[in-house]
Structure 1
């Protein structure tokens, strides 16, 4: 039986998502912390935002990671906390890995403030009814999280994705898990350490066993007394 380490595990949800995306991981990892998104200050940079976020976390060494946009934030957060590793789940490691549609949208990022988020949240409500939950739980889950998301946080996050131009200098190892059927952040634009066959963008929900196993392997490896001496069985690579 595997004994979970005491080092905290911090996972950040993606754009228009919340801690519900990591429900299977909460069951597997009692030490998991999924912090709520802070309300960003006007035009706040990723670096300034993650500095504020770091101040809300315990100062002890931890494993941090995230899904999609949460992975990007985790990379920047690693500059402000004592991170043992960064774990990317369906995310990317640098702006050069953004898909073509995101790069093409950059000139139009000035339109983000006028996106009618409240109206879109109202229009998406039919996807949050019980019958959708029964027959299309992934669609229901995504719609429910978007419906409940903070428009201010959503617009800030989208703006930071579109103006992301410099990858942070991460001194700890970076591990990357990605699905081969991710249409939001397609695999062809990035280089993952481990690929989940049939996995889409919501790996933590659709393939929890693979995600949990990957996290457990990384955490166990880096908390083992022989971790520094044994690099041959790494599930990923240094960032």
Structure 2
């Protein structure tokens, strides 16, 4: 299921998505030992994505690198590329611009003032029954997502959700952007995007459900950039 580890010196930085962490890239970490998935910083009050990305870049000890991310992590990676020596950006089940946000996200924008009132702690408590050994045995994918949501930082979750809804300007990225997307992604539907490659049968978390295709795509990007 996983690809053979890739022998390359090119640094690879991938950002996890909303309510997710480095566990979402477990198959990629096996294939790319040089991969780094930085933890989400505690956001400052009313901090923009670009300001957040600038602050995140200051914590990275990276030279020339490939930046990327899944879902919301891909959006942040576009801004992070402006503040690092990024040679390419890889979007994994993500989008390139606000115009590619699905209709439900655009309709939710007027209600973003309600985000502070979302009972994240309660929802995390309600997710506990899914994060059990029984579920892990019979539905490991649901178990993994429940564990990540249970362990996520409520402040980061609410900040990320608000930044998605008020994202209005895509950054100007000077390096190439590579985009991989599942054709059954209902969170960020394919019809709103224009990916370079489509993963057949892939949902929103293709890094876990289709690691072979994702790892192969990343490997091709790394190889292409190393030849330039």
TM beyond 0.5: yes
8 A Cα contact 2:49 2:79, kept in partner? yes
* Residue ranges of structure 1 left out of the alignment (5+ in a row): 228-239
1:89 aligns with 2:120: no
- The aligned counterpart of 1:79 is 82
Q: Distance in 1 between matches of 2:108 and 2:179?
A: 25
Q: Report the counterpart of residue 236 of structure 1 in structure 2.
A: none
Which runs of no fewer than 5 residues in structure 2 stay unpaired? none
Matched, 1:178 2:181: yes
Q: Is the 8 A contact 2:6 2:219 kept in 1?
A: no
Q: Which deviates further from its counterpart, 2-11 or 16-25?
A: 2-11
1:120-140 deviation per Cα after TM superposition (whole angstroms, max 9, x unaligned): 000111111111111111111
Aligned: 1:38 with 2:27: no
Structure 2 match to 1:127: 130
| DSSP-derived class of the 2:82 partner | coil
For the 8 Å contact 2:5–2:31, the answer to whether it is kept is: no
| Superposition misfits of 4+ residues, deviation over 6 angstroms | none
Aligned residue for 1:92, secondary structure, equals coil
User: Is it true that 1:210 corresponds to 2:204 in the alignment?
Assistant: no
SS in 2 for 1:48: helix
Q: How much does 1:59 deviate?
A: 4.0
Whether 1:197 and 2:200 are equivalent positions in the alignment is yes
Aligned residues: 225
Query: What's 2:146 paired with?
Result: 143
**In the aligned structure 1, how far is the partner of 2:218 from the partner of 2:34?**
12
**Is the 8 Å Cα contact of residues 127 and 150 (structure 2) preserved in structure 1?**
yes
Q: Deviation of residue 4 (structure 1)?
A: 2.2
- Alignment check: 8 A CA contact 2:124 2:150 kept: yes
Q: TM-score w.r.t. structure 2 length?
A: 0.97
Q: Deviations over 1:207-233 (max 9, x none)?
A: 001000000001011102xx3xxxxxx
Aligned to 1:65, the other structure's residue is in SS state: strand
89 and 3 in structure 1: CA distance in 2 versus 1, 3 angstrom threshold: closer
Q: Is the 8 A contact 2:6 2:31 kept in 1?
A: no
Looking at structure 2, the residues matched to 51 and 124 of structure 1 have their Cα atoms a distance apart, in angstroms, of 33
Paired residues for 1:147-166 under 5 Å:
147-166=150-169
2:5/2:32 contact within 8 Å kept: no
